[in-house]
Amino acid sequence: MDAMEFFQLSAGKWRSQRATHHLAFKRSETGESDIQVETLEANHPEIIELCQYHEIDPSLSVGGSRVRWLGTMAWDRENEENHQGKTIFAIVPDEDNPRAGKLLRERGYAEIVPVVGLFHMDDEDGLVLTTEYETMSSIERFWFASPNMRLRTSTVKRFGGFSTASFCTESRIESSVEVSGTEQVTERLGQDILEKKQFYSVLGW
């Protein structure tokens, strides 16, 4: 599986349950969010615009996705927190390895700024994202337990020493797969790719 296939499998609507541990304060909080993922083809205007913003040739991108989310966290104060937004991802694989490369973001995970991170697919077909910001760094790993359940871990380290760790369980809440472009990705694609890993995944996770 390459990164674009992983994004295609992620298309649709998801309900995310999250636990975040604030290590410096020795406290944790829980939250939930609704996430909508739409696959974007390489020739989509938003993919081209994002590549141009980061001064990367758009022809090097294989596509990406548009992600929208709306959520809440346990520590939120009424009318003061706003866990909603959207971002665009564009995948730019290495020339000699489609399972690794650059991931362009319209909006970062740890800081709300456009950013370029690195991605690679690990030996278990998990998608690992590493991003360096001006004041912090983050490592995220996504993987599928089944076609309708995705798991995610993330660690954010601030240069001042503070860090947080999160674990998310994301369940598909709608079976339809949304794709922007001419290529239609069906649920069968997800089954075909994941069936190759089914036996290993049951034992490995």
**Band of residue 201 on the pLDDT scale cut at 50, 70, 90:** very low
**CATH number of domain containing 131:** 2.40.128.20
Q: Give CA–CA dist 93/135, Å, rounded.
A: 26
In the structure, what pLDDT confidence band is assigned to residue 106 with cuts at 50, 70 and 90? confident
The Cα 10–Cα 25 span in angstroms is 33
Is the pLDDT confidence value at 112 over 50? Answer: yes
Strand intervals (E) in 23-114: 27-40, 63-73, 83-94, 97-105
User: By residue range, what is the domain housing residue 54?
Assistant: 3-22+30-204
Domain count for the chain = 1
Buried/exposed code over 33-66 (b: 16+ C-beta within 10 A; e: otherwise) = bebbbbbbbbebebbbebbeeeebebebbbbbbb
Q: What angle do CA 162, 166, 171 make, to 5 degrees?
A: 165
State pTM to two decimals. Answer: 0.77
Distance between first and last Cα of the chain: 18
Please report which confidence band the pLDDT of residue 164 belongs to, taking 50, 70 and 90 as the band edges: very high
pLDDT in the model for residue 5: 96
Confidence of residue 114 (pLDDT cuts 50, 70, 90): confident
The span from the CA of 74 to the CA of 95, in Å, is 44
Helix axes 187-195, 3-10, angle to 10 degrees: 130
Q: What is the mean pLDDT of the chain?
A: 81
In this prediction, residues 118-124 reach a mean pLDDT of: 97
DSSP H/E element including 59: none
Q: Which element (helix H / strand E) includes 193?
A: helix 187-195
